[in-house]
Amino acid sequence: MKEKSNEATPLRPKGDCLLNAPVIDLDLNQQIKDIKAEETWKNSDRNSITLFKSETMRVVLFGMHKNSLLKTHKTKTYITVHNLKGKIKLKTDEQEFILKEGNMAALQPDVPHSVYAEKESFFLLSLAFSK
Question: In terms of residues, how long is the chain?
Answer: 131
Amino acid making up residue 39:
E
Q: Kindly give the residue spans of alpha helices, DSSP state H, lying in 1-77.
A: 28-37, 39-43
Query: Residue 29: in which H helix or E strand, if any?
Result: helix 28-37
For the stretch 68-116, pLDDT in tens is: 999 999 999 999 999 999 999 999 999 999 999 999 999 999 999 999 9
Give the pLDDT of residue 18: 77
Q: Give the dihedral sign, CA 89/101/109/56.
A: positive
Fold observed for domain 4-8+20-128:
Jelly Rolls (2.60.120)
Q: What is the pLDDT of residues 14-54, one digit of tens each?
A: 556 778 888 889 999 999 999 999 999 999 999 999 999 99
Alpha-carbon distances, residue 131 vs 4, 80, 101, 111, 117 (angstroms) = 18, 19, 32, 20, 33
Three-state DSSP at 86 gives strand
At 14 the pLDDT is: 59
Whether 89 and 116 have beta carbons less than 8 Å apart is answered as yes
* pTM listed for this prediction: 0.89
**Can you give the residue ranges of every domain in the chain?**
4-8+20-128
